[in-house]
Amino acid sequence: MIGGLFIYNHKGEVLISRVYRDDIGRNAVDAFRVNVIHARQQVRSPVTNIARTSFFHVKRSNIWLAAVTKQNVNAAMVFEFLYKMCDVMASYFGKISEENIKNNFVLIYELLDEILDFGYPQNSETGSLKTFITQQGIKGQHQTKEEQSQITSQVTGQIGWRREGIKYRRNELFLDVLESVNLLMSPQGQVLSAHVSGRVVMKSYLSGMPECKFGMNDKIIIDKAGKGGVTNEAGKSDLGGGGSTSGKQSIAIDDCTFNQCVRLSKFDSERSISFIPPDGEYELMRYRTTKDIILPFRVIPLVREVGRTKLEVKVVIKSNFKPSLLAQKIEVRIPTPLNTSGVQVICMKGKAKYKASENAIVWKIKRMAGMKESQISAEIELLPTNDKKKWARPPISMNFEVPFAPSGLKVRYLKVFESKLNYSDHDVIKWVRYIGRSGIYETRC
């Protein structure tokens, strides 16, 4: 298991050092600094073995987090733990920076004591941690016995992510379907790979211990319901987020993963998503689709080399969605060679600028409706070089935001049941929103 955990600043100075196992000595701290942080080469692996000691590291801005071990630990777990550790710290004091870490070092030690015991990760849900570890020192000494045992039962209990006795005057929930659409397209317009990775983020402000059931236009469920000849009564309580409720438009989900609150065995057997939600904001599920993706934009590049000192670039972008919808924050990034000496740009819409420091022409358009087309053309002057190596021509990348889900996912219902308290599904105010963003959206040129 994890033998020790160190946090360094960008210079390699130790900010936090917590050793859990006897086989990790003080020299391990220095070994990582010398061999990884101060190494001249770019990092070649997130796992480094130095003198039979293994170091796992992740970097957040300029802070290094390193977990150390001498055993054959579960590597995936160590990284998951490091990410979780970052999340926990961020939820306590915001951005992970040298200053914040120094300001909260006592708190961090307390957290490390609680979430990692003898190198075994323990409860790391911020919801329950915050009930007894706070920035104002530890609660606990003034609590009643009931409160104390409530804390411990929550920390160790089956529903560690939610505490009892939450009350809201207005029961409300917000669902965000956030998708990032990824594309790699050949210069000829052939889709080399495309996938959507989506997240359903929920903000719940619900009283008591509500039981929730979430439904979407997942092909498997819809087909199942269709076969059975039973109209899904849940279909009636549509949230009105995305139009038609009939199971016509269903999507094939390649794979999905769920927050730990979701009952996985139930999903496996019935494919129904039921859970008791954590309070506040959390990620309910992640999913991935590869079939029938709506690619919001198509990029058509044309690069022509005119002699050795000039390039002509023409890029057309086409929006490919309903004309009534508006895409925002559109940015096209056209890479230029390192020996570029000057660039002239003409674009029909938006603003374009050559940014020498980034070796790219950046073309920004604030808004663009569906089924439209726009064009940019540029002349790039090159300095003559005797570098034999040809320019690698990095792909043209794009950023944008659209108000629909490129995967076609629709929320069909989210039902809330709380038997003990006096509110029903109809009393809950529900909101749903779809945002599609560009992930890695590249077209080779």
Partner 1 sequence: MTDSKYFTTTKKGEIFELKAELNSDKKEKKKEAVKKVIASMTVGKDVSALFPDVVNCMQTDNLELKKLVYLYLMNYAKSQPDMAIMAVNTFVKDCEDPNPLIRALAVRTMGCIRVDKITEYLCEPLRKCLKDEDPYVRKTAAVCVAKLHDINAQLVEDQGFLDTLKDLISDSNPMVVANAVAALSEIAESHPNSNLLDLNPQSINKLLTALNECTEWGQIFILDCLANYTPRDDRESQSICERVTPRLSHANSAVVLSAVKVLMKFMEMLPKDLDYYGTLLKKLAPPLVTLLSAEPELQYVALRNINLIVQKRPEILKHEMKVFFVKYNDPIYVKLEKLDIMIRLASQANIAQVLAELKEYATEVDVDFVRKAVRAIGRCAIKVEQSAERCVSTLLDLIQTKVNYVVQEAIVVIKDIFRKYPNKYESVIATLCENLDSLDEPEARAAMIWIVGEYAERIDNADELLESFLEGFHDESTQVQLQLLTAIVKLFLKKPTETQELVQQVLSLATQDSDNPDLRDRGYIYWRLLSTDPVAAKEVVLAEKPLISEETDLIEPTLLEELICHIGTLASVYHKPPSAFVEGSRGVMHKRLPARTGSGEGTECPDVGNAAGGSAPEAAPSIIPSQGDLLGDLLNLDLAPPTTTGPTPSTSGMQMGGMDLLGGGLDSLMDESEPPHVPLQTDPPQSPSPQPPSPVYTHTDYTYTDYSHTDSPPDHSSTEHSPPAELGGDIGGSPAMGAGFGAAPTVMPASLNAPVGGGLGDLFDLGGGVGMPMGAYIPPKTVWLPAMKAKGLEISGTFARRAGVIQMELVLTNKAMSVMTDFAIQFNRNSFGLAPAGPLQVLTPLGPNQTIEVSLPLSTVGPVMKMDPLNNLQVAVKNNIDVFYFSCQYPISMLFVEDGKMERQVFLATWKDIPNDNESQFQIQDCHLNSEAASNKLQGSNIFTIAKRTVEGQDMLYMSIKLSNGIWVLAELKVQAGNPNYTISLKCRAPEVSQCVFQCYEAVLKN
Supply 175's token pair.
Answer: 């669902």
Q: Does 167 bind partner 1 (CB under 8 A)?
A: no
Is residue 292 packed enough to be buried (19+ CB in 10 Å), middle (13-18) or exposed (0-12)?
exposed
Could you say which of 29, 330, 334, 432 contacts partner 1 (CB under 8 A)? 29
Q: Nearer to partner 1 by C-beta: 128 or 204? A: 128
Q: Does 58 bind partner 1 (CB under 8 A)?
A: yes
Which are the contacts of 362, defined by CB distance < 8 A and separation ≥ 6? 331, 332, 333, 334, 352, 353, 354, 355
Q: How far is the CB of 339 from partner 1 (least distance, A)?
A: 15
Is there a contact between 163 and 279 (Cβ–Cβ < 8 Å)? yes
Q: Does 394 bind partner 1 (CB under 8 A)?
A: yes
Which is it for the CA torsion 87, 88, 89, 91, positive or negative? positive
Q: Does 15 bind partner 1 (CB under 8 A)?
A: yes
Round to whole Å and give the CA distance between 162 and 125.
9
Could you say which of 11, 95, 137, 342 contacts partner 1 (CB under 8 A)? 137
Q: Restricting to residues 237-256, which ones interact with partner 1 according to CB under 8 A? A: 254-256
Burial annotation 373-392 (CB, 10 A radius, 16+ → b, else e): ebebbbebebeeeeeeeebe
Round to whole Å and give the CA distance between 364 and 333.
9
Applying CB under 8 A, which part among 47-55, 302-310, 313-321, 366-374 lies near partner 1?
47-55
3-state DSSP assignment of residue 173: strand
Applying CB under 8 A, which part among 80-88, 216-224, 295-303, 362-370 lies near partner 1?
80-88
Could you say which of 34, 39, 49, 342 contacts partner 1 (CB under 8 A)? 49
Q: Does 91 bind partner 1 (CB under 8 A)?
A: no
Q: How far is CA 428 from the centre of its chain?
A: 28
The C-alpha angle 257, 258, 262, rounded to 5 degrees, equals 145
Q: Restricting to residues 422-441, which ones interact with partner 1 according to CB under 8 A? A: 440
Q: Does 444 bind partner 1 (CB under 8 A)?
A: yes
Q: Nearer to partner 1 by C-beta: 286 or 372? A: 286
- Binding mask 97-136 toward partner 1 (x if CB under 8 A, else -) reads --x--xxxxx--xx--x---xx-xxxxxx------x--xx
Round to whole Å and give the CA distance between 266 and 264.
5
Q: Restricting to residues 324-363, which ones interact with partner 1 according to CB under 8 A? A: none
Q: How far is the CB of 194 from partner 1 (least distance, A)?
A: 9
Burial annotation 226-248 (CB, 10 A radius, 16+ → b, else e): eeeeeebebbebbbebbeebebe
Q: Restricting to residues 264-283, which ones interact with partner 1 according to CB under 8 A? A: 264-265, 267-268, 283
Q: Restricting to residues 142-161, which ones interact with partner 1 according to CB under 8 A? A: 143, 145, 148-149, 151-153, 155-158, 160
Q: How far is the CB of 208 from partner 1 (least distance, A)?
A: 21
Q: Restricting to residues 202-221, which ones interact with partner 1 according to CB under 8 A? A: none
| Positions at the binding site | 351, 353, 355, 364, 366
